[in-house]
Chains A and B, each alone.
Chain A
C-alpha cells in the first residue's frame, strides 16, 4: 500500500508531549497540545489535459498554556525543538496579558476519552498520481461528451483528491491519544453554453473511503443536468410561495440550526433560539440525530480537541431540542457539561417521522412553488433568525417543473422556516457533517421581478 504520509500517530504524540514538557518546565499550571500532519495529492483537469497536479503537505502544533485561569495559545508549522519552544513561550507570554477565564480551564482526566472506542476513519486510497490523473481525465471527457445540438458543455474543472492525516492530543493532566484518518474527493464543474449565455454548476462527492466516492459517470450526469437545467433561467414575480430545498442545499438549513444551538451563541444569547433546551423549535414530525461513531463517517471521531468524546444522541426529538453542542467553556458558563462538541457537530441526520417521499412526490405535494437548487450569497442574522439568500432553481406548476429561475431571493425567519418544514425527502445527501433529504417549507417570501 502506498502511503502519502511520512509520519504516524506516535510521532505526532511525541511532538505534542514535547510541547507539554516545555510548558511544564517554564512553569505553566496546565497545558493542552495537539499536533497534526496531513499529506495528499490533487489533480485537476479540463479540455483533455491536466490543469494542475499538486502535492499537499502540512503539519502543525497548537498549544494552549495556562497561568492559573489565564490562557494563551500559540501554533507553529515548524516542529523542530526551537520552534516548539518559541511557540510555548509565546503562549505563556500571552497568558500573562489576558484576563482570567475559569470556565476555559481544561477538563479533568476523568471526563476525557481515555479509553473509549475510536471509530474507523482511516482508509488510504493507495492511488498514485497517474491513477488520479486518469480519473480526472475521465470526468472531463464525460462532461464534454454531453454536448448536444445547441448546447455546448465544457469542463470548468474535473478534480480528484486523496489525502491522509494524523493528529494527536496530549495534556498536562496525562491524556495522550491520536488517530489516523483519510479523506478523498471527486468534483466536477460543468459549464453549459447556448446562444443566450452560459451557466455553470457542479457535483461532488467526498468520503473517507476512495471506493465509496460516487463514480465520475454519475457525477458527470448530475453536473451536466444541473448546468444545462439552468440555461434560460429567468426571474419570477415576487410572492409568498412554498419552497423545496434540494437535499444538497437543505443541509445549509441544518447548519443554521446547529449554529443556533451551539455553546457560544447559547451562552452569549446571540441566537434566535435562546434557552433552547426542552423547547419545541421545529415541526413536530422532525428528528435530528447525532452519531460521532459511524464507521468512516466524514464527521466521525473518538474525541474533540479537548479530549472529550461525543455520544449517540437526539438533538431534536419530535421537533423539541434535546441537546446542545457544547465545549468545556460554553458548558461551564451555562452550568452544564461538555457534550464533546468543541470542534462542532459530529455526523447529523435529519429525518421525518411521518412526512417523507421521493423528490418527485415532494414536488407534487408542493404543487406551485420554487425548487431551490443553489444558494448564492445572502445574509443570516443569527440573533433575529432573519434569513435571505439569492438563489437559483426551478419554478414548479401543478407539481411539474416548468422553467429555470435566477435573479430572485428567498427570505424568511429561521424560526418560521423550521416550524414550516412539511416534509423531508428520501433523496438523502451528505454535506460534511450533515445528512438530509430535500426539505419542503410551506411558505417563504420570494423576491423577484415586480
Chain B
C-alpha cells in the first residue's frame, strides 16, 4: 500500500485534469529511451499563482496565473535532448517523446518502463493549496495593513509599496529507473518598499518575508515588524553618505548577508561546473580555503523555508551537504546527470525553474554555521571598517571565483562603534581567497526571511541564505567617495 500523502496528492492533481494514468508515463518513458540512453525522465507540473500590488494605500492590481506542462529529457553520457509541451494529454506525451528522439537522432523503444519506486516521504511543509477560489480576501487584508503601519512608524514616510506572491506548485517526476515522486509546494512571499523623504532628499528601504505556509504563518506582529524594519532602513538611508573605497575590515550582520557564501563558494561547488572543469574550485576538494571554525552547509530539509524541498525536481529526498568543513572544502551539490557522470550520489539539489527548463545542480538553503562570538564583540573588534546588514543581491564568475555584492544598508565602524550610515558599497573578492579573511564567527545564526532568489543560466529559483555575524579582516570595498 502506498502511504505517501505528498506523492498521492501530486498524482491526483496532475493526472486528474490531464486524464493521464501511470501507464501513460510508463509508455512515454519507454518511447524516450533508446540504446545508449543513460537517463530519461518526465517532469509534469501544474502551477497556480496570484500576485497583488499595493500602491498609494490601496491594492492597485492583481493577477492570476495558470501554468502547466511537461518536460521530457533523455541523456547519453553528458549529451542531453530535451523538449517540453504545455499540453499534458497522453497524445501530447507521445509526440513529446518523438520530438526528443528526433533531437538526438535515435529511435525510441516500444517497451514500457515499469514504475514501482517508493517516493521519498517528508513533512517539511503541508501539501496544501493556497490559491483556492475565493481565498484571496484575507491576503488582501494583510496587504492593506502595510500602508497604515508604515506611516504611523515615521512621519518622513512618503510612499509605501507592497507586493504579495502566493504560489502553488505541484510536480510529478518519473524516470527510466522506474522511480516516481511528487510534491506539492506552497510558497508565499511579501515585499515592502518604503520611500522616506526629508529636506528634499529621498531614500528607500526594502524588506520582505516568505515561506512555505499559508496566511497563518504571517501574524500581525511579524508583518508589523517587517514594515517597521523597512521604514527604519529608508530613514537610515536618508542620512547615508557615499561609501568609502579601498581594502578594509568588514562586519556582516546575520541572515541575508550569508549571500556571501552562496556567491563566493556555493555556485563554485555545483557539480556541473566541476564535471566540465569550469569552477575555480575544481580539483581543490580537501584544500583549506578558510580558517578553522568556518563550516558551510546546504540543507534542503529545513521545515517551512522557501529554499527547502522535501523532494527535488528529480525525485531525490532532501539532504544536508557539507560544503566547507571547519575551513576545508568538503563536498559538491549534485543532480542526477552530473552525479551519474562523476560517479557520485545525487544530493537533493536537482532543481529546475519549470517544466520548460532542464534541471541543474542548484542550491537550497546555504548557510554558515554559528561560532562563539557575540555580535557586539565582533563589531567592537574593528577599529575602522564597514558594518553591513542588507544587500541587494550579488553575483559570481564561477571560472575565476570573483564575486561581488552591494549593500542596501550599511554603516561605518569607527573605533569599534557603529556610526554614520553609508550607501552603495560594493564588496568584491575572489571566493577561495576571501574566506581566509574570516576571523570571527558570531553565535547568532539566522536564515534570511524568505526573500532570496538565485539565477543560473537564466533560470530563477527561490533559495535560502544565512549566517551569523562575521568579521572579514580585509575586503575590497568600492564606493563613490
A390 touches B82 (CB 8 A): no
Interface segment, one of B30-38, B207-215, B401-409, B461-469 = B401-409
Q: Which chain B positions have C-beta within 8 A of A238? A: 245-246
**Could you tell me which residues of chain A, from 207 to 255, have a CB within 8 Å of some CB in chain B?**
235, 238
CA distance A358 to B81 in the complex (A): 44
Q: Per a CB cutoff under 8 Å, which of B87, B159, B280, B424 touches A198?
A: B280
Interface string of A26-45 (1 = CB under 8 A from B): 00000000000000010000
CB <8 Å contact, A199 and B63? no
Q: Which residues of B contact A107 (CB under 8 A)?
A: none
Q: Is B137 an interface residue (CB 8 A)?
A: yes
Q: Which of A72-80, A142-150, A293-301, A346-354 contacts B (4 or more CB under 8 A)?
A: A72-80
With beta carbons under 8 angstroms apart, the residue of A83, A87, A198, A378 that contacts B399 is A198
- B331 beta carbon closer than 8 Å to chain A: no
User: Does A377 belong to the interface (CB within 8 Å)?
Assistant: yes
CB of A279 within 8 A of chain B? Answer: no
* Chain B hits for A343, CB < 8 A: none
Interface size on B, residues (CB 8 A): 75
Contact, CB under 8 Å: A388 / B480: yes
Known: A378-B406, A450-B247. Contact between A54 and B428, CB under 8 A? Answer: no
In the complex, which residues 411-462 of chain B have their Cβ closer than 8 Å to any Cβ of chain A?
423-426, 428-430
Does the CB pair A377–B395 fall under 8 Å?
yes
Is A364's CB within 8 Å of the partner chain B? no
Interface string of B55-85 (1 = CB under 8 A from A): 0001111111111110000000011111111
Q: In the complex, A384 Cα to B78 Cα: how many Å?
A: 48
Chain B 241-278 residues near chain A, CB threshold 8 A:
242, 245-247, 276-278
B79 in contact with A156 (CB, 8 Å): no
Q: Cβ of B202 < 8 Å from any Cβ of A?
A: yes
In the complex, A422 has a CB within 8 A of chain B: no
* Interface membership of chain A positions 186-200, coded 1 if the CB is closer than 8 angstroms to chain B and 0 otherwise: 000001000001111
Q: Which of A53, A197, A388 is close to B80, meaning CB atoms less than 8 Å apart?
A: A53
Q: Of residues B78, B356, B402, B478, which shows the largest number of chain A Cβ atoms within 10 Å of its Cβ? A: B478
CB < 8 Å: which of A94, A376, A407 contacts B64? A94
Contact of A379 among B68, B356, B424 (CB under 8 A): B424
Interface residue A370 (Cβ < 8 Å from any Cβ of B): no
Q: What is the CA–CA distance of A386 and B481 in the complex, to the nearest angstrom?
A: 11
Q: Are A411 and B65 in contact (CB under 8 A)?
A: no
Contact A49 B400 (CB under 8 A): no
- Residue A389 CB within 8 A of the other chain: yes
Interface residues of A in 45-80 (CB under 8 A from B): 46, 49-59, 71-79
Distance between Cα atoms of A240 and B48 in the complex (Å): 51
User: With A54-B82, A97-B140, A449-B476 in contact, is A390–B60 under 8 Å at CB?
Assistant: no
Interface 9-residue window, one of B96-104, B286-294, B344-352, B380-388 = B96-104
CB contacts (< 8 Å) of B67 on chain A: these are 76-77
Which residues of B sit under 8 angstroms from A95, Cβ to Cβ?
A: 62
Contact call B61/A98, Cβ cutoff below 8 A? yes
- Nearest opposing residue in chain A for B47, CB measure: A77
Of B195, B276, B356, B426, most buried by chain A (CB within 10 Å of CB) is B426
Q: Is B358 a contact of A73 with CB atoms below 8 Å?
A: no
Q: Could you say which of A74, A99, A448 has the most chain B C-beta atoms within 10 Å of its C-beta?
A: A99
Contact across chains for B242 and A386 when beta carbons are under 8 A apart:
yes
A134 — which chain B residues lie within 8 A by C-beta? none
CB–CB B202/A91 < 8 A: no
Q: How many residues of A contact B (CB 8 A)?
A: 72
Q: Judging by beta carbons under 8 Å apart, are B82 and A381 in contact? A: no
- 1/0 per residue, CB under 8 A from B, across A421-450: the answer is 000000000000000000000000101111
Q: Is the CB of B80 within 8 A of A73?
A: no
Neighbour of A54 across the interface among B58, B103, B204, B477, CB < 8 A: B103
- Segment 394-422 of A: residues with Cβ below 8 Å from B: 406-413
Q: Which chain A residues border B276 with CB–CB below 8 Å? A: 46, 156
Determine if B394 is an interface residue (Cβ-Cβ < 8 Å). Answer: yes
Q: Is the C-beta of B172 less than 8 angstroms from some C-beta in chain A?
A: no
A94 lies within 8 A of B60 (CB): no
| Residue in contact with B202 in the complex, picked from A53, A86, A379, A383, CB distance below 8 Å | A383
Q: Which residues of B lie under 8 Å from residue A447 when comparing CB positions?
A: 245-246, 426, 476-479
Closest to A129 in B: B103
Kindly list chain A residues whose C-beta atoms are within 8 Å of the C-beta of B480: 386-388, 411-413, 445
Q: Which of chain B's residues 208-246 have a Cβ closer than 8 Å to chain A?
A: 242, 245-246
- Distance A51 CA – B14 CA, assembled complex (angstroms): 30
Is A108's CB within 8 Å of the partner chain B?
A: no
The listed residue with most B CB atoms (<10 A of its CB), out of A129, A387, A407, is A407
Decide yes or no whether B177 CB sits under 8 A from chain A.
no
Once the chains bind, are B424 and A73 in contact (CB under 8 Å)?
A: no
Asked if B9 CB lies within 8 Å of chain A CBs, one says no
The answer to whether the Cβ of A14 comes within 8 Å of any Cβ in the partner chain is: no
Does any Cβ of A come within 8 Å of B125's Cβ?
Answer: no
For A78, A376, A390, A407, the residue with the greatest tally of chain B CB atoms inside 10 Å of its CB is: A390
B132 to nearest A CB, angstroms? 12
B392 interface contact, C-beta 8 A: yes
Partner of A199, one of B81, B392, B399: B399
Q: Is B203 an interface residue (CB 8 A)?
A: yes
Shortest beta-carbon distance from A280 to chain B in Å: 21
Please indicate the chain A residues that have their CB under 8 angstroms from the CB of B91 in the complex. Answer: none
Which residues between 145 and 166 of chain A lie within 8 Å of chain B, taking CB atoms? Answer: 154, 156
Report the bound CA distance from A90 to B60 in whole Å. 16
The reply to whether the CB of B136 lies closer than 8 angstroms to some CB of chain A is: yes
B424 touches A386 (CB 8 A): yes
Task: List the B side residues contacting A58 at CB < 8 Å.
Answer: 86, 356
Nearest Cβ in chain B — how far from A160, in angstroms? Answer: 14
Q: Return chain B residues, CB-CB under 8 Å to A445.
A: 245, 479-481
Closest to A191 in B: B399
Residue A101 lies at the interface, judged by CB distance under 8 Å to chain B: yes
Contacts of B81 in A (CB 8 A): 52-54
Asked if B62 and A98 sit within 8 Å, CB to CB, the answer is yes
Task: List the A side residues contacting B103 at CB < 8 Å.
Answer: 41, 53-55, 129
The answer to whether B406 touches A55 (Cβ under 8 A) is: no
Bound-state Cα–Cα, A411 to B66, Å: 42
Contact, CB under 8 Å: B80 / A52: yes
Contact with A along B139-159 (1 / 0, CB 8 A): 010000000000000000001
A-B contacts, 26 listed (Cβ < 8 Å): A41-B103, A50-B79, A51-B79, A53-B103, A53-B104, A54-B83, A55-B83, A73-B62, A73-B63, A73-B64, A74-B65, A76-B67, A77-B86, A94-B63, A94-B64, A95-B62, A98-B140, A156-B276, A200-B400, A238-B245, A377-B394, A381-B204, A389-B426, A409-B404, A411-B242, A411-B478
New A-B contacts (16) at CB < 8 Å, excluding given A94-B63, A409-B428: A49-B79, A52-B81, A52-B358, A55-B84, A75-B65, A75-B66, A238-B246, A376-B395, A388-B478, A388-B479, A389-B426, A390-B428, A406-B400, A409-B478, A411-B424, A447-B478
Q: Identify the 3 closest CB pairs spanning chains A and B, nearest first.
A: A409-B478, A447-B478, A447-B245
- Measured CB to CB, the residues of A under 8 A from B are 41, 46, 49-59, 71-79, 83, 86-87, 90-91, 93-95, 97-99, 101, 104, 129, 154, 156, 191, 197-200, 235, 238, 268, 270, 376-379, 381, 383-384, 386-390, 406-413, 445, 447-450
